[in-house]
Amino acid sequence: MKRQQPANFPGVLTGTAFFCFFGATSVPAQPLPGTLLWKSPVRGLVSQSCPAIGHDGTIYALGSGLTALAPDGTIKWATASEWGLIGSPVIADDGTIYFGNSDGVLHAATPDGAVKWSYDFQAELTYSTYFHSTPALGADGTVYCMKGGTLFALTPDGGKKWQVRLDGGYQPKSPVIGADGTIYVTGYGNGYQEGPGFYALNPDGTTKWKAAGSSTSEAAMIGLDGKIYANPYEFTPAGDLVWTGASYAGGESAVRGLDGTLYSGGNGQLYSLSAAGAPGFNGSIGMNAWHWDGRTVPAVDASGMIYYYSSNTVFAVTSAGSVAWVCSGPLAFVTPWVIFTGIPTVGPDGTVYAAFSDGLYAIQGSGQPLAASGWPTFGQNLRHTGKVERPVPGPLARRPDGNFAIQFAGEPGQAYTVQKSADLANWVYHTNLVARGAQAVVTDLTATNAGTRFYRVTTP
């Protein structure tokens, strides 16, 4: 049975809902938020990693190998690796999965688990570092990876386009990509190693601008207005400093809520900043006196609930900073030396996924997808591509009633605007919507027996 959305849910297309009941038949009650739905014993799950979800609903998790799971937790396939995998998987438009391991190699795999190619970064560097960085994918399929302070650009088939040495040291940093293709990389700057703390590069690897400072964020976050945030700075796309907010020790990559609030985790704590950089709530969320400096990034769903991981536990936190529920795995709130930390993600149906020390957990959330806030989760979207994804047009069909049905592929939780035109010159608004799944369908009920009509779908 289709569940009707609340009337005030922003941008969701609504329609008439019909409910039928036969005898004593009833609809099963939805599990309470925080309920463990299933646990899959994925081998050797990677701490400080975030599961990725493909357009077909397949969940990819890194462990002693790459594991693909169905939405019900059934393992579809798993690869083996003689080295531990590090970072988070990234999924391209064609389904290719990119993931790195601690021997300095980036792998590309097909949706059925076959390795397409591998690229050995370590062979080109004069120093040894682990591959912690999560890649970002350009609009043309270019794969951008940081390895030991060097940014590499690879073609979709594994060839090298260019490499640029940055001055931010050897720390594990992950690039993100703006709407115009600009690549943004954070650095530690003078706080740790000499050099700028923030880089903006053109798609050809040349420097667009750089800024001094020191950021603990593994990756920057890009807002709907194009401004870039990396703890504790916000910049315009031109490189002008907008503000310097409160700098939280261990503050990691941030995500943005529906009202523009920034949320960041680090040192076992969850922090918030207003859209103007003013400090909000901060402190220990259900933790004991000690804090473990584990890399974690929150996720925000369309109801405004914030999901945060610390000490083998997922916390659901309201925008006011109160804990709504918790779901704990083994060894929660014990000695920091055995604590496992992960990065939660929210599936299209609102299920919360997180890697625990004993397997991948699926937890009942609020029933809402990711927030349409511009950057609600690690890597911006469920595929962790590191950029706002453009909608991909699908078939346009004339309905029996003479109206049009427009189909396009989008990212769950992403807000889109549909416009229409009769001549490709004059465009008018048709509707807004938030994608509930990988495929979205919009109906134009004003097109009965209309002549030529064009449609386009844009992001805010």
For 41-83, how does the pLDDT look when each residue is reduced to its tens digit (9 = 90+)?
876 666 668 899 998 899 999 877 889 999 999 999 988 765 5
Residue 73, in any domain of the structure: yes
Average pLDDT over every residue of 90-96: 94
Residues 429, 304 within the same domain: no
Residue 188 is given by DSSP the state -
Residues 197, 319 within the same domain: yes
Tell me how far apart the alpha carbons of residues 308 and 296 are, in angstroms, rounded to a whole number. Answer: 8
> What's residue 172's pLDDT?
61
Residues 335, 396 within the same domain: no
Range name among 353-357, 404-408, 412-416 with the lowest pLDDT average: 412-416
pTM: 0.84
Which residue is it, tokens 């959330």?
365
Does the pLDDT of residue 112 top 60, yes or no? yes
Percent of the chain with pLDDT over 70: 77
Q: From 318, 344, 363, give the residue that closes a domain.
A: 363
Residues 223, 328 within the same domain: yes
Q: From 347, 363, 379, give the residue that closes a domain.
A: 363
Residue 387, in any domain of the structure: no
Side-chain half-sphere CA neighbours of 172 within 13 A = 19
How many CB atoms within 10 Å of residue 389? Answer: 18
Residue 243, in any domain of the structure: yes
In degrees, rounded to 5, the angle at the alpha carbon of residue 142 between the alpha carbons of residues 137 and 146 is 70
Residues 226, 266 within the same domain: yes
How many CB atoms within 10 Å of residue 80? Answer: 9
Residue 101 belongs to what domain range?
36-363
The domain spanning residue 312 has which CATH number? Answer: 2.130.10.10
In degrees, rounded to 5, the angle at the alpha carbon of residue 295 between the alpha carbons of residues 351 and 308 is 35
3-state DSSP: the chain helix, strand, coil percent, rounded to 5? 0, 40, 60
Residues 413, 348 within the same domain: no
Which residue is it, tokens 């964020």?
217
Residues 398, 445 within the same domain: yes
Tell me how far apart the alpha carbons of residues 94 and 99 are, in angstroms, rounded to a whole number. Answer: 15
Average pLDDT over every residue of 312-339: 76
Residues 320, 443 within the same domain: no
Residues 354, 438 within the same domain: no
| Overall domain count for the chain | 2
> What's residue 259's pLDDT?
92
> What's residue 17's pLDDT?
27
Residue 93, in any domain of the structure: yes
At a CB cut-off of 8 Å and minimum separation 6, what does 322 contact?
none
Residue 301 is given by DSSP the state B
Write the DSSP assignment of 36-96 as a string of letters.
EEEEE--TTPPTT---EE-TTS-EEEESSSEEEE-TTS-EEEE---SS-EEEEEEE-TTS-
190 phi and psi angles, rounded to 5 deg: -70, -10
Residue 315, in any domain of the structure: yes
Residues 90, 140 within the same domain: yes
Nearest to 200, CA basis, from 159, 151, 137: 151
For 435-456, how does the pLDDT look when each residue is reduced to its tens digit (9 = 90+)?
766 677 888 888 776 677 888 8
Tell me how far apart the alpha carbons of residues 381 and 160 are, in angstroms, rounded to a whole number. Answer: 26
Q: From 345, 363, 381, give the residue that closes a domain.
A: 363
Nearest to 365, CA basis, from 281, 306, 295: 306
Residues 438, 354 within the same domain: no
Residues 115, 226 within the same domain: yes
For 181-214, how does the pLDDT look when each residue is reduced to its tens digit (9 = 90+)?
999 998 754 444 444 578 999 999 999 998 887 7
Strands (E), 190-297: 198-201, 207-211, 221-222, 228-230, 233-235, 241-244, 254-256, 262-266, 269-273, 279-284
Average pLDDT over every residue of 349-376: 91
